[in-house]
Amino acid sequence: MTTIAVFASGRGSNFMNLYQAIQEGQLTATIGLVVSNNPGAPVVQTARSWNIPVRVLSPTRYTDPQQYETDLLHTLAEFHIEWIALAGYMKKIPASVIRQFPNRIVNIHPALLPAFGGKGMYGMHVHEAVFQSGAQVTGVTIHFVNEEYDQGAIIFQEPVVIRECRSPEEIAEKVLAVEHQVYPRVLQQLLTHPFEVVGKRVYFNQESETP
Ligand code: GAR
Protein backbone atom coordinates (compact mmCIF):
# COMPACT_ATOMS: atom_id res chain seq x y z
CA MET A 1 0.00 0.00 0.00
CA THR A 2 1.37 3.40 -0.97
CA THR A 3 1.99 5.87 1.83
CA ILE A 4 1.08 9.41 0.93
CA ALA A 5 1.51 12.74 2.66
CA VAL A 6 -1.22 15.34 2.28
CA PHE A 7 -0.03 18.95 2.36
CA ALA A 8 -2.77 21.40 3.30
CA SER A 9 -3.02 24.95 4.63
CA GLY A 10 -6.67 25.52 5.45
CA ARG A 11 -10.08 23.96 5.70
CA GLY A 12 -9.05 20.53 4.49
CA SER A 13 -12.17 19.32 2.71
CA ASN A 14 -10.03 17.61 0.05
CA PHE A 15 -7.97 15.96 2.76
CA MET A 16 -11.16 14.70 4.46
CA ASN A 17 -12.47 13.51 1.11
CA LEU A 18 -9.26 11.56 0.36
CA TYR A 19 -9.37 10.02 3.81
CA GLN A 20 -12.97 8.97 3.24
CA ALA A 21 -12.10 7.51 -0.18
CA ILE A 22 -9.44 5.40 1.53
CA GLN A 23 -11.93 4.23 4.17
CA GLU A 24 -14.33 3.25 1.38
CA GLY A 25 -11.64 1.40 -0.57
CA GLN A 26 -11.73 3.70 -3.61
CA LEU A 27 -8.18 4.82 -2.95
CA THR A 28 -5.73 2.10 -1.97
CA ALA A 29 -3.26 4.18 -0.01
CA THR A 30 -2.49 5.27 3.52
CA ILE A 31 -2.25 8.88 4.61
CA GLY A 32 0.92 8.59 6.66
CA LEU A 33 1.36 12.27 7.36
CA VAL A 34 -0.30 15.66 7.06
CA VAL A 35 2.02 18.62 6.52
CA SER A 36 0.77 22.14 7.08
CA ASN A 37 2.41 25.54 7.18
CA ASN A 38 -0.41 26.84 9.35
CA PRO A 39 -0.71 25.62 12.96
CA GLY A 40 -4.21 27.07 13.28
CA ALA A 41 -5.60 25.41 10.13
CA PRO A 42 -8.77 23.36 10.60
CA VAL A 43 -7.07 20.54 8.66
CA VAL A 44 -4.49 20.24 11.46
CA GLN A 45 -7.21 19.73 14.07
CA THR A 46 -9.08 17.23 11.91
CA ALA A 47 -6.00 15.14 11.16
CA ARG A 48 -5.01 15.08 14.85
CA SER A 49 -8.50 14.03 15.87
CA TRP A 50 -8.23 11.13 13.40
CA ASN A 51 -4.82 10.15 14.79
CA ILE A 52 -2.98 10.94 11.60
CA PRO A 53 0.51 12.31 12.29
CA VAL A 54 0.73 16.05 11.63
CA ARG A 55 3.82 18.19 11.19
CA VAL A 56 3.60 21.97 11.01
CA LEU A 57 6.51 23.31 9.00
CA SER A 58 6.32 26.92 7.96
CA PRO A 59 9.06 28.27 5.70
CA THR A 60 8.40 31.78 7.01
CA ARG A 61 9.36 30.69 10.53
CA TYR A 62 12.83 29.67 9.42
CA THR A 63 15.63 32.19 9.12
CA ASP A 64 17.60 29.64 7.10
CA PRO A 65 15.64 28.33 4.08
CA GLN A 66 18.10 25.45 3.75
CA GLN A 67 17.18 24.24 7.24
CA TYR A 68 13.50 24.29 6.30
CA GLU A 69 14.19 22.07 3.28
CA THR A 70 16.31 19.71 5.34
CA ASP A 71 13.63 19.41 8.03
CA LEU A 72 10.93 18.82 5.45
CA LEU A 73 12.97 16.12 3.67
CA HIS A 74 13.78 14.43 6.98
CA THR A 75 10.14 14.46 8.01
CA LEU A 76 9.06 12.89 4.72
CA ALA A 77 11.74 10.21 5.10
CA GLU A 78 10.82 9.57 8.74
CA PHE A 79 7.24 8.75 7.74
CA HIS A 80 8.29 6.71 4.67
CA ILE A 81 6.34 8.96 2.34
CA GLU A 82 6.17 7.77 -1.27
CA TRP A 83 3.76 10.27 -2.84
CA ILE A 84 2.63 13.79 -1.91
CA ALA A 85 -0.86 15.15 -2.58
CA LEU A 86 -1.30 18.89 -2.23
CA ALA A 87 -4.80 19.79 -1.09
CA GLY A 88 -5.15 23.53 -0.68
CA TYR A 89 -1.47 23.99 0.15
CA MET A 90 -0.42 27.59 -0.25
CA LYS A 91 3.37 27.38 -0.10
CA LYS A 92 5.88 26.59 -2.82
CA ILE A 93 7.42 23.12 -2.70
CA PRO A 94 11.23 23.43 -2.48
CA ALA A 95 13.26 22.23 -5.46
CA SER A 96 15.06 19.62 -3.35
CA VAL A 97 11.72 18.00 -2.44
CA ILE A 98 10.61 18.01 -6.08
CA ARG A 99 13.88 16.28 -7.01
CA GLN A 100 13.35 13.69 -4.27
CA PHE A 101 9.82 12.92 -5.54
CA PRO A 102 10.03 13.05 -9.35
CA ASN A 103 6.49 12.95 -10.79
CA ARG A 104 5.18 11.94 -7.40
CA ILE A 105 3.88 15.29 -6.15
CA VAL A 106 0.37 16.12 -7.31
CA ASN A 107 -1.67 19.30 -6.92
CA ILE A 108 -5.33 20.06 -7.43
CA HIS A 109 -6.14 23.51 -8.76
CA PRO A 110 -9.68 24.94 -8.87
CA ALA A 111 -9.61 26.20 -12.48
CA LEU A 112 -8.60 25.07 -15.94
CA LEU A 113 -4.86 25.73 -16.13
CA PRO A 114 -2.97 27.42 -17.68
CA ALA A 115 -5.71 30.03 -17.17
CA PHE A 116 -6.24 31.44 -13.69
CA GLY A 117 -3.07 30.01 -12.18
CA GLY A 118 0.24 31.24 -10.85
CA LYS A 119 1.42 32.99 -7.73
CA GLY A 120 -1.42 34.40 -5.63
CA MET A 121 -4.01 32.39 -7.55
CA TYR A 122 -5.38 30.09 -4.92
CA GLY A 123 -8.69 29.37 -3.25
CA MET A 124 -11.27 32.13 -3.57
CA HIS A 125 -8.86 34.40 -5.47
CA VAL A 126 -9.19 31.98 -8.37
CA HIS A 127 -12.98 31.95 -8.31
CA GLU A 128 -13.13 35.75 -8.00
CA ALA A 129 -10.89 36.14 -11.06
CA VAL A 130 -12.96 33.62 -13.00
CA PHE A 131 -16.19 35.39 -12.00
CA GLN A 132 -14.84 38.81 -12.99
CA SER A 133 -13.58 37.46 -16.32
CA GLY A 134 -17.06 36.47 -17.42
CA ALA A 135 -15.88 32.97 -18.33
CA GLN A 136 -18.76 30.53 -18.62
CA VAL A 137 -16.63 27.46 -18.10
CA THR A 138 -14.10 26.82 -15.36
CA GLY A 139 -13.05 23.51 -13.90
CA VAL A 140 -10.56 21.41 -12.01
CA THR A 141 -6.97 20.67 -12.97
CA ILE A 142 -4.84 17.96 -11.41
CA HIS A 143 -1.18 18.31 -12.28
CA PHE A 144 2.31 17.35 -11.25
CA VAL A 145 4.18 19.91 -9.24
CA ASN A 146 7.29 21.48 -10.67
CA GLU A 147 9.30 24.46 -9.52
CA GLU A 148 6.86 27.05 -10.89
CA TYR A 149 3.41 27.64 -9.44
CA ASP A 150 0.75 25.69 -11.38
CA GLN A 151 3.03 24.88 -14.31
CA GLY A 152 3.69 21.15 -14.00
CA ALA A 153 2.45 18.53 -16.45
CA ILE A 154 -1.34 18.25 -16.54
CA ILE A 155 -2.68 14.86 -15.51
CA PHE A 156 -6.41 15.47 -15.68
CA GLN A 157 -8.94 18.24 -16.25
CA GLU A 158 -12.68 18.38 -15.74
CA PRO A 159 -14.68 21.35 -17.00
CA VAL A 160 -17.45 22.91 -14.90
CA VAL A 161 -20.09 25.07 -16.59
CA ILE A 162 -20.79 28.21 -14.54
CA ARG A 163 -23.03 30.14 -16.93
CA GLU A 164 -25.73 30.53 -14.27
CA CYS A 165 -23.43 31.36 -11.35
CA ARG A 166 -24.14 34.73 -9.75
CA SER A 167 -21.15 34.92 -7.37
CA PRO A 168 -17.60 33.61 -6.87
CA GLU A 169 -18.95 31.62 -3.92
CA GLU A 170 -21.40 29.80 -6.16
CA ILE A 171 -18.55 28.94 -8.53
CA ALA A 172 -16.42 27.72 -5.62
CA GLU A 173 -19.16 25.40 -4.43
CA LYS A 174 -19.67 23.84 -7.87
CA VAL A 175 -15.94 23.40 -8.46
CA LEU A 176 -15.27 21.93 -5.01
CA ALA A 177 -17.93 19.26 -5.53
CA VAL A 178 -16.10 18.21 -8.70
CA GLU A 179 -12.72 18.29 -6.94
CA HIS A 180 -14.09 15.81 -4.42
CA GLN A 181 -15.30 13.49 -7.18
CA VAL A 182 -12.12 13.47 -9.20
CA TYR A 183 -9.13 13.78 -6.85
CA PRO A 184 -9.38 10.30 -5.27
CA ARG A 185 -10.04 8.74 -8.70
CA VAL A 186 -7.05 10.38 -10.33
CA LEU A 187 -4.73 9.56 -7.44
CA GLN A 188 -5.86 5.95 -7.56
CA GLN A 189 -5.14 5.87 -11.28
CA LEU A 190 -1.66 7.32 -10.74
CA LEU A 191 -0.83 4.87 -7.98
CA THR A 192 -1.99 1.81 -9.86
CA HIS A 193 -1.22 2.43 -13.54
CA PRO A 194 1.95 3.17 -15.42
CA PHE A 195 2.09 6.59 -17.00
CA GLU A 196 4.42 8.62 -19.14
CA VAL A 197 5.15 12.31 -18.90
CA VAL A 198 6.03 13.95 -22.21
CA GLY A 199 6.58 17.67 -21.84
CA LYS A 200 3.46 18.99 -20.15
CA ARG A 201 1.34 15.99 -21.15
CA VAL A 202 0.69 12.84 -19.16
CA TYR A 203 -0.26 9.60 -20.90
CA PHE A 204 -1.60 6.47 -19.29
CA ASN A 205 -0.97 3.26 -21.15
CA GLN A 206 -3.69 2.09 -23.46
CA GLU A 207 -5.22 -0.60 -21.27
CA SER A 208 -6.06 1.81 -18.46
CA GLU A 209 -9.09 4.02 -18.82
CA THR A 210 -9.02 7.78 -18.39
CA PRO A 211 -9.66 8.45 -14.69
C1 GAR B 1 -9.45 23.80 -3.10
O2 GAR B 1 -10.44 24.40 -3.89
C3 GAR B 1 -8.18 23.61 -3.91
O4 GAR B 1 -8.41 23.31 -5.25
C5 GAR B 1 -7.56 24.98 -3.78
O6 GAR B 1 -7.78 25.35 -2.46
C7 GAR B 1 -9.01 24.75 -2.00
C8 GAR B 1 -8.72 24.03 -0.71
O9 GAR B 1 -9.91 23.59 -0.13
N10 GAR B 1 -6.17 24.93 -4.12
C11 GAR B 1 -5.55 25.94 -4.72
O12 GAR B 1 -6.08 26.99 -4.98
C13 GAR B 1 -4.07 25.68 -5.05
N14 GAR B 1 -3.59 26.67 -5.94
P15 GAR B 1 -9.86 22.49 1.04
O16 GAR B 1 -8.89 23.02 2.10
O17 GAR B 1 -11.26 22.45 1.55
O18 GAR B 1 -9.40 21.20 0.43
Domain identity same for 86 and 43: yes
Burial class, 86, CB count within 10 angstroms (exposed 0-12 / middle 13-18 / buried 19+): buried
Atom of ligand 1 nearest to the CA of 8: 16
Q: Are 119 and 147 in contact (CB under 8 A)?
A: no
Q: Are residues 125 and 183 in the same domain?
A: yes
Say which of 74, 80, 109, 143 is annotated catalytic.
109
If one counts the domains in the chain, the total is 2
Q: Are residues 134 and 205 in the same domain?
A: yes
- Site to probe by mutation for ligand 1, drawn from 7, 14, 86 as the one with most ligand atoms within 8 Å of Cβ, is 14
100, containing H or E segment: helix 95-100
Strand partners, 116: none
Q: Tell me the CATH number at 117.
A: 3.40.50.170
Q: Is there a single domain that holds both residue 96 and residue 175?
A: no
Q: Are residues 123 and 77 in the same domain?
A: no
Could you list the residue range(s) of the whole structural domain that residue 52 is in?
1-101
| Ligand 1 atom with least separation from CA of 108 | 4
- Boundary-marking domain end, from 101, 123, 151: 101
The protein residue with its alpha carbon nearest to ligand 1, atom 8, reads 88
Say how far apart CA 88 and CA 148 lie, in whole Å: 16
Task: For residues 54 and 38, state if they share a domain.
Answer: yes
Query: Do 86 and 129 have their domain in common?
Result: no
Q: Is the peptide bond before 211 cis (omega within 30 degrees of 0)?
A: no
Domain boundary (66, 101, 136) is at 101
Are 7 and 95 part of one and the same domain? yes
Label residue 145 exposed, middle or buried (CB < 10 Å: 0-12, 13-18, 19+): buried
Q: Which of 86, 101, 116 is the last residue of a domain?
A: 101
- Among 107, 103, 99, 147, smallest CA distance to 123 is for 107
Residue 80 appears among annotated catalytic residues: no
Residue 14 DSSP label? H
Same domain (yes/no): 96, 143: no
Ligand 1 is surrounded, with C-beta below 6 A, by 8, 10-14, 87-88, 108-110, 122-123, 126, 176, 179
* Cα of 138 from ligand 1 centre, angstroms: 14
Closest among 156, 120, 162 to 138, alpha carbons compared = 162
Write out the chain's pLDDT in tens, 211 residues.
999 999 999 999 999 999 999 999 999 999 999 999 999 999 999 999 999 999 999 999 999 999 999 999 999 999 999 999 999 999 999 999 999 999 999 999 999 999 999 999 999 999 999 999 999 999 999 999 999 999 999 999 999 999 999 999 999 999 999 999 999 999 999 999 999 999 999 999 866 666 7
Best probe residue, ligand 1, of 126, 142, 157 (max atoms within 8 Å of C-beta): 126
Q: Which of 129, 95, 97, 122 has its CA nearest to residue 14?
A: 122
